[in-house]
Structure 1
Amino acid sequence: MPSPTISRRVRPAYPIMLLLAPVLAAGCATTRPGAPADGAAPTPPAVWATADQPVSPSATPTAPVPARPAPSSARPSAPLPRTGLRHVFPVRADNVDYHPTHGAYPATDLFADCGEPFVAVTDGKVLEVSRVDRYTKRGPQGPENGGLSVSLLGDDGVRYYGSHLSVVSSGVDAGVRVRAGQQLGKVGRTGNANNVCHVHFGISPPCPGKDGWWIRRGVLWPARYLDSWRNGGNREPAAEVVTWQRKNGCPKAP
């Protein structure tokens, strides 16, 4: 158990360890905080159209001119994210550790015993589920790295992704609504977890119709949100996600 005077997410050896975290091309750190690590990959830098207004006919037309019908509505838009939603820590266990950073791209790994519950961060709808581990070291590194996984679109407009699960809970399927704290699966070591029990956790925008694993895996550093939720706070990532997407859009595969 970590010393009560030291945050469990950051241990004294981190400044050196985080420079040495092992990284696959699109994979996870595979050492629990406090354990030795080797190899590191650098972290890369992380319109609405309005409908035309109706045109009014001339006040004194010389010939009958049909009025242009007013558009029924502006261009369809996504619902505005809700604020003030409850957020909870994504692994329901006493002994959970995580690095404040992650190799190669913004995300984090939540280290806990295999079988501990992975839960919904907030109210929302399940976007994607993978119940089959298709990862192989001889295959492409990236698309199947997560093994068993669940991604959730929160009612706050943010996507939360957990992978390397040992099992996805029964009834957790795409389109199903879930509540904050509801179990989605269990901590595992599928995909490229390298036999280390943990959940890869990523925060990203949903990018409907243009999505890919390179966005779903994470685009923001989650640690400050995890710190808040773990301590009973409710720090919300929606504003940072919106800012990131305005700047980056939905980027193509690296």
Structure 2
Amino acid sequence: MRSGHIGRLAAVTGAVLLTGACTQATGLAGVGAGAGGGAGSPSTVAVSGTPSATATTPSPTPQPQAAEQPPQADDPVNVPPPKLSKYSYAFPVKGCKTTYQRKLLVLPKTTIWAPQGCSFVAPVEGVVDEVNTQDRWQPGTDAGADREGRFVTIIGDDGVRYLGGHLDSIADGVKPGAKVKKGQLLGKVGRTGNARDTGSNLYFAISWKTGPAFWWVRRGMVEPWDYLDAWKKGNRTYSPREETMKLRGKLGETPPCSVQCASRQATTPQTSKTKTPRPRRSSDSDAERNPTATDPLTDGGVSAG
């Protein structure tokens, strides 16, 4: 009776032990779960048949990503140059290809090389100041006031005087006191004045208003090439007014001439002072006998005609 009770107890104990072992097993044959073998447990597991070996789940390989493309840019916007003054300017030669000096040579002016007959136009709105329609320059004298040949000057609304010289001709209606617009025709490029033996060009100079007697002022006081560069490239409001007025305040309205001031002396034929030799007379006794007689070949004689 007692032995039967002990047998049943042993059977129950074996069943309980078997049930616990099954509860701890995983669904894979021969693979045991670790202490933390539930969901979210580490990926290292024991492999059946090789208890000491472990298997590691590989990390996912990063996939290459396409390079990001920059957004498509819009067409560039042309921004006009900044407005630097209330005045508007034009390049003084219109409709022709030009070149010009950008450095100081003798005077602060420039020579704008252009084909003969090209248009010289007003660089700014203003009033005509001087007009010279006659080419009076002569190489023998090289008078400073005549070196520009035919020329026109205007006093711009900006208070600055502009000179265009070596002109072939002056436009109709261009006379002192006439009002002109920016870009208005003033004359045609030529070779008058001391440009007679050079290529056709425009003598261009910037200064301030003076009387005609101070011709050296109109020939150029302010270096013009920076302004010409700006006007040619489209910056129409770059003005020489400030620089011109500042220099006039420093030098005065009529500074003395300092460059190319003297003209050459005109060369005239000289009369010989050598006396004409007296003809030999047969006898000087006639003069002695007639002391009032006058020899027409002496200094005191009366010349014919």
Same fold (TM over 0.5): yes
Amino acid of the structure 1 residue aligned with 2:248: Q
CA distance in 1, matches of 2:104, 2:238: 20
Q: Which residue of 1 aligns with 2:98?
A: 96
CA distance in 1, matches of 2:156, 2:134: 24
Q: Which residue of 2 aligns with 1:48?
A: none
**1:213 maps to 2:215:** yes
CA distance in 1, matches of 2:251, 2:106: 17
Amino acid of the structure 1 residue aligned with 2:241: A
Q: Which residue of 1 aligns with 2:201?
A: 198
- Which SS does the other structure have where 2:242 is aligned? helix
| Per-residue deviation, 1:211 | 5.1
Q: Deviation digits for residues 161-217 of structure 1, max 9, x if unmatched?
A: 00000001011000000000000001100000123100000000113x475221001
CA distance in 2, matches of 1:102, 1:217: 13
- Which SS does the other structure have where 1:247 is aligned? helix
1:62-73 aligned at under 5 Å gives the runs none
Q: Which residue of 1 aligns with 2:114?
A: 112
Amino acid of the structure 1 residue aligned with 2:94: R
Amino acid of the structure 2 residue aligned with 1:137: P
CA distance in 1, matches of 2:116, 2:205: 19
CA distance in 2, matches of 1:119, 1:212: 24
CA distance in 2, matches of 1:169, 1:161: 15
- Which SS does the other structure have where 1:166 is aligned? strand
Amino acid of the structure 1 residue aligned with 2:173: G
Amino acid of the structure 2 residue aligned with 1:103: L
> For the structure 1 residues 123 and 211, does the alpha-carbon distance in structure 2 shift closer, same or farther, using more than 3 Å as the test?
farther
1:223-238 aligned at under 5 Å gives the runs 223-233=225-235, 234-238=237-241
- Which SS does the other structure have where 1:126 is aligned? strand
> For the structure 1 residues 210 and 162, does the alpha-carbon distance in structure 2 shift closer, same or farther, using more than 3 Å as the test?
closer
Amino acid of the structure 2 residue aligned with 1:206: K
Q: Deviation digits for residues 79-123 of structure 1, max 9, x if unmatched?
A: xxxx51110000003410001024211000000000000000000
- Aligned-pair identity in percent equals 39
Amino acid of the structure 2 residue aligned with 1:96: T
Q: Which residue of 1 aligns with 2:257?
A: 253
Q: Which residue of 2 aligns with 1:164?
A: 166
CA distance in 2, matches of 1:126, 1:88: 16
Q: Which residue of 1 aligns with 2:38?
A: none
Q: Deviation digits for residues 10-41 of structure 1, max 9, x if unmatched?
A: xxxxxxxxxxxxxxxxxxxxxxxxxxxxxxxx
Q: Which residue of 1 aligns with 2:299?
A: none
> For the structure 1 residues 142 and 120, does the alpha-carbon distance in structure 2 shift closer, same or farther, using more than 3 Å as the test?
same
Structure 1, unmatched stretches of 5+, are 1-82
CA distance in 1, matches of 2:223, 2:101: 10
Q: Which residue of 2 aligns with 1:242?
A: 245
> For the structure 1 residues 210 and 173, does the alpha-carbon distance in structure 2 shift closer, same or farther, using more than 3 Å as the test?
closer
Structure 1 runs of 4+ off > 6 angstroms? none
CA RMSD across the alignment:
1.3
- Which SS does the other structure have where 2:250 is aligned? helix
1:1-254 aligned at under 5 Å gives the runs 83-193=85-195, 194-207=197-210, 209=211, 212-233=214-235, 234-249=237-252, 250-254=254-258
Amino acid of the structure 2 residue aligned with 1:239: E
Contact 1:126 1:176 in 2 (8 A): yes
CA distance in 2, matches of 1:139, 1:239: 37
| Per-residue deviation, 1:140 | 3.7
Contact 1:122 1:179 in 2 (8 A): yes
Question: Highest relative contact order (Cα 8 Å, sep 6+), 1 or 2?
Answer: 1
Question: Larger helix proportion, structure 1 or 2?
Answer: 2
